[in-house]
Structure 1
Amino acid sequence: MYEDIESLRQKLMTVQRWIEEKDQALEYTEMYDEMIKMINELEQFRVKVK
């Protein structure tokens, strides 16, 4: 069990480092997530209108 937690912690540290290095990529990811949310909202609106 402890090994699992430790390996998870290591992976999280690695991901955190990657995110810090790829700050700009993260901004694009957030923009992409926003676009997906907007598209989903538009889809729901379109369904309501029908």
Structure 2
Amino acid sequence: MESLEAKRKAGDVKEELRELEKLMQQEKDEAIFTASLGPLLTILCCA
């Protein structure tokens, strides 16, 4: 019974890590998007 609980906890930790990885990837994508959007907006505004 105890090992089942330990396995469940390990599963939860893995799931949390996966969620965190997804969030970090999302933030990275948004940062890249924002970084590439800045110069583009400058070009559009000044053209």
TM-score normalised according to structure 2 size? 0.61
Gaps of 5+ in 1: 1-20
* Aligned position for 1:27: 9
If asked which structure has higher relative contact order (CA below 8 Å, sep 6+), I would say 1
Alpha-carbon RMSD: 0.5
Gaps of 5+ in 2: 33-47
Instruction: Decide which of 9, 23, 27 is 1:41's aligned counterpart.
Output: 23
After superposing on structure 2, the runs of 4+ consecutive aligned residues of structure 1 that deviate more than 2 Å are none
Identity in percent = 7
Deviations 1:2-50 (A, max 9, x none): xxxxxxxxxxxxxxxxxxx200000000000000000000000000000
TM-score normalised according to structure 1 size? 0.58
Number of residue pairs matched by the alignment: 30
Q: Which entry has the higher C-alpha Rg, 1 or 2?
A: 2
